[in-house]
Structure 1
């Protein structure tokens, strides 16, 4: 088991400060030989990438993407423009390894960063693929990002129920990734900053083994981020560990002057609600409650930009 510790930082923002605490872990899982996940967790950027393609191709794709984003974070100002330039460079990096990559090599990317450039601070999530960002606020868990997957498209079109999606044969086929084509733009969602918020950023190795309710359960049981990521990792491994597992937990403590009065107008997204049914005794996956509009009820999210020019060809993660 990798050693995990909680890091903390008090961040100056317009009109006040924000106290942050976070922890991150990644694990190969029980069935994979190579860990093709990669992550970066350091203020102001917290991201997870889940690579795909060949024995080492996915590892190259996720590592290249995270390495390029580290440079953006180190420069101190994270913006959509800087992120997209970094992703364009990552695509070229991936293509520079023809001996290990092919047209199907790529990576998901999801996470968030703190934007302090305006009058008030905001979180901005970014997403390509089916890794996820969750927000727990006032006891409710909401999936902020929307999966770019065949199954999610079928759910959105009404051709598949959330219950049917649980075991769908195309459950691991994604429709957007960094690598297979140039010009892939993340979806962005802008969020206000609120004291007590907890974010979970994870690859699908976690969500294959734990429901949204299960994730919230382990957050409720573990106030310290390091304890929370360890508990979720242990549960995911116990439930099968079928894929690489990467988890970041980010907590917002004191948040004075952080834009609590902002109005959020996030687009409604099917499947955003958490599964509120009781957990199984062994913590295995349960059927999700797919009540649309739960994000709006929670008041957590703001509208994201639809990605232009996205690669629509399905890729298997």
Structure 2
């Protein structure tokens, strides 16, 4: 597994069009191999303006290398306050070339999911660009409400959308691990994007499916609602996942948005990896 960026840190972000308006981003991430897997194929990047998790595909060779390639290329995006979808697409294209070099050495090939958020500007307003390929997820929690922003690219999600099975049946379906979109296998990576305005009070969760296999949305909401800091939220979510079985690698990144009174260079996060 590969970790890029500080695991516990914060930065202040100057909002466009308002010289004296800033918000603080505070984040924490934690990853664990889980109780069943021999290798951790998850990777994570927290390098403002971008935060993401990648889950190397189990059952394929070098899944850890695939996820590492994605977060490494995304981690190279630095030195700027805001980015756009074209920048993310270019980084994923470069990661695909890296992954295909490894995949060519295997009959099965290799690939990875990727999901995350990045600061972007749309119509002179700061927004979160939420992006996703595969079945890792992004949730927003604000005012006591939890919302899943991403839609899984998976066989069971397509069955749910078609009305063939319920969401509860999908959680225990034997094809639950089969995804329909990935970064790898010589296919151009095509993320889904969604825009969410950035505002104080947001708590953002970016996670691999090692979390959502073990916790329902109700459980996730509980830990996001009852923890005061991003660090505590990440720790308790991972601990709960392991206690509930820990059948897969689990990676959790929690990002809090709060009001700030001073402006700090976005390229210099405050805090250090632990």
TM-score with structure 2 setting the length? 0.87
Q: Which has the higher contact order (CA 8 A, sep 6+)?
A: 2
Deviation of the 1:78 alpha carbon? 2.5
Aligned positions of 1:221-300 closer than 5 A: 221-254=226-259
Note closer, same or farther for the CA distance 1:140–1:76 as it changes in structure 2 (3 Å cut).
Answer: closer
- Aligned length, in residue pairs: 254
Alpha-carbon contact 1:50-1:107 (below 8 Å) kept: yes
Could you tell me which runs of 5 or more consecutive residues in structure 2 were left unpaired when the two chains were aligned. 1-5, 262-274
Partner of 1:6: 8
Whose strand fraction is larger, Structure 1's or Structure 2's? 2
Alpha-carbon contact 1:53-1:104 (below 8 Å) kept: no
Q: Distance in 2 between matches of 1:72 and 1:250?
A: 18
Query: Are 2:70 and 1:65 aligned?
Result: yes
Q: Distance in 2 between matches of 1:5 and 1:177?
A: 25
Note closer, same or farther for the CA distance 1:55–1:152 as it changes in structure 2 (3 Å cut).
Answer: closer
Note closer, same or farther for the CA distance 1:238–1:192 as it changes in structure 2 (3 Å cut).
Answer: same
TM-score with structure 1 setting the length? 0.76
Q: Distance in 1 between matches of 2:85 and 2:107?
A: 27
Partner of 2:23: 18
Q: Distance in 2 between matches of 1:32 and 1:254?
A: 40
Partner of 1:83: 88
Deviation of the 1:5 alpha carbon? 5.8
Could you tell me which runs of 5 or more consecutive residues in structure 1 were left unpaired when the two chains were aligned. 257-317
Q: After the TM superposition, which parts of structure 1 deviate over 3 Å for at least 4 consecutive aligned residues?
A: 53-56, 73-77, 98-104
Partner of 2:225: 220
Note closer, same or farther for the CA distance 1:35–1:163 as it changes in structure 2 (3 Å cut).
Answer: same
